[in-house]
Amino acid sequence: MTVQPLPYSPHTGPLAAVVTDLTVDRGQVRALDSVSLTVPSGEITVLLGPNGSGKSTLLQTLLGLVTPTAGAVRILGQPVRKALRSGRVSTVPQKDALDEGFPITAAEVVMQGRRRFTGAWRRPSAEDRDAVTEALGRVGLTRVASRRIGELSGGQRRRVLLARCLAQEADLLLLDEPFNGMDAGSEEVYIDVLRELTAAGRTALISTHHLGTVERLADSVALLNGRLVAHGPVAETTTPQILSTLLGARPPAAAAAADHTAEEALP
**Contact footprint for ligand ATP (CB under 6 A):** 26-27, 29, 31, 49, 51-57, 209
C-beta of 53: minimal distance to ligand ATP in Å?
Answer: 4
Residue closer to ligand ATP by CB (options 54, 140) is: 54
C-beta of 55: minimal distance to ligand ATP in Å?
Answer: 4
Residue closer to ligand ATP by CB (options 35, 111) is: 35
C-beta of 56: minimal distance to ligand ATP in Å?
Answer: 3
C-beta of 251: minimal distance to ligand ATP in Å?
Answer: 6
C-beta of 254: minimal distance to ligand ATP in Å?
Answer: 7
Number of alpha carbons in the 13 Å side-chain half-sphere of residue 141: 32
Residue closer to ligand ATP by CB (options 163, 221) is: 221
Residue closer to ligand ATP by CB (options 4, 28) is: 28
**CA–centroid distance for 129 within its chain:** 26
Residue closer to ligand ATP by CB (options 59, 194) is: 59
Residue closer to ligand ATP by CB (options 111, 266) is: 266
C-beta of 67: minimal distance to ligand ATP in Å?
Answer: 12
